[in-house]
Amino acid sequence: MKTLNVGIMGLGTVGGGTYTVLTRNAAEITRRTGVQINVIQVADRNIDHAKTMTGGSVAVTGDALEVVNNPKVDVVVELIGGYTLSRELVLKAIANKKHVVTANKALIALHGNEIFAAAKANNVIVAFEAAVAGGIPIIKALREGLGANRIEWVAGIINGTTNFILTEMREKGLTYQDVIGEAQRLGYAEADPTFDVEGIDAAHKLTIMSAIAFGMPMKFEQAYTEGITKLQQVDIKYAEELGYRVKLLGITKCTNKGVELRVHPTLISEKRLVANVNGAMNAVVVKGDAVGPTLYYGAGAGAEPTASAVVADLMDVARLIDATSAQRVPYLAFQPEQVHDLAILPIDEIQSAYYLRLRASDKPGVLANVTKILGDLSISIDAMLQKEPDDNETEADIVILTHITLEKNMNAAISAIEALPEITGKLVRIRMEELGK
């Protein structure tokens, strides 16, 4: 029987899960592929841990370069993370004519263009399904399952940490500061949660999906990123009163003016399935011109959910190892010569509906002044919620939902409204998406 020899770099959460799934489901994998996939070497800085996990059945090293240079290894699985050492190791593996499987979204988002070019030149495969949304096969869906469609937009909850935090804030009435400590205690958030809560992790994943959806190079450096750290409990409560949920979404759209590539808190109608994705789960909605909106839901992280995607990539390599690059599905779904350098729209040029919350003096004429400013900038109001002031207070919250408008017009309106003498402090602005058209 044909065999495929694998070397794993990094035997942490995902690496350990990958080794477990490969060994536990070995017979099933062979039945599906006709190939026996063998792990013959692992690299991890904690050699004792690696030896314990593998039970002495494979070679263990503390130097990942040994795996990359091992002539018996056919496929290198990169699970060490980061994007400096991992980039060097992956490029070295490719130069050594080894296929690569990775779960490293930062590596692909920042260096994917370089890596794919090197892989094509060396006629090897680079597979990265596990880099986006853990066990959800969204890369395969975009590259293959929806290949007959012109993709119009992709939007998703693609960071489990932030989704857990927002779920706890909504369901328990807690503040961000209340929840972040609990998220860290439960292992949903790192000791330094910046990459998650500021939207950087989601932007890495969105960059990859956008490139595949629209056939363009990775453009992470041009992604607009806004996190959840400034979200207030009161806005989550008001949104729910109006029939909406707040989610951190990654959104990419192909428009006549360019590609939108943005991550930010977003109001979604509670009637949408994606609005009801709670806890640490992920969900991605893809709109194709032929199929319409499609939803992909599941665990976006964790040892075995992510390992599921890593092993599926290994199975694809096993099936396609003898094919030429022309016979394989292109990395970015489009033939290399058809990958176009599409322009990314600045955030000022995107179109969205908006949730606005302002603190205003409780006296006649205030609303008239606000609506006049919005009207002068062609911003129409969809709904409004005016709260009664508390006892002994002279100010109250006003919440406005607008129809779709240009972001730069909304910026101008916010500046003008904040300048009104009856308005206290800064306005809160959260973008809104329909996600059903």
Distance CA 406, CA 166 (A): 27
CA distance 220 to 204: 6
Please state whether 426 falls in left (phi above 0), alpha (psi between -120 and 50) or beta: beta
Q: How far apart are CA 417 and CA 437, in angstroms?
A: 31
In angstroms, the Cα distances linking 49 to 6, 45, 62, 89, 263 are 19, 9, 11, 22, 37
The most distant pair of C-alpha atoms in the chain lies apart, rounded to whole Å, by 83
- Among residues 51, 140, 172, 205, which one is catalytic? 205
Pairing mode, strands 151-157 and 281-288? antiparallel
Rounded Cα gap, residues 32 and 133, in angstroms: 24
CA distance 267 to 276: 12
Residue 38 burial class via C-beta count within 10 angstroms: exposed 0-12, middle 13-18, buried 19 and up: middle
* C-alpha closest to that of 413 among 402, 424, 421: 402
| Beta strand ranges found along 136-258 (DSSP E) | 151-157, 224-225, 244-254
3-state secondary structure of 433: coil
The helix (H) or strand (E) run that includes residue 17 is helix 13-24
Residue 160 to residue 168: CA distance in whole angstroms: 12
Angle, in degrees to the nearest 10, between helices 200-214 and 105-122: 40
For residue 2, indicate whether it is catalytic: no
Residue 63 has φ and ψ, to the nearest 5°, of -115, 110
* Cβ atoms of residues 355 and 432 within 8 Å: yes
Specify whether the CB–CB gap between 6 and 78 falls below 8 A.
Answer: no
Report the catalytic residues.
Answer: 205
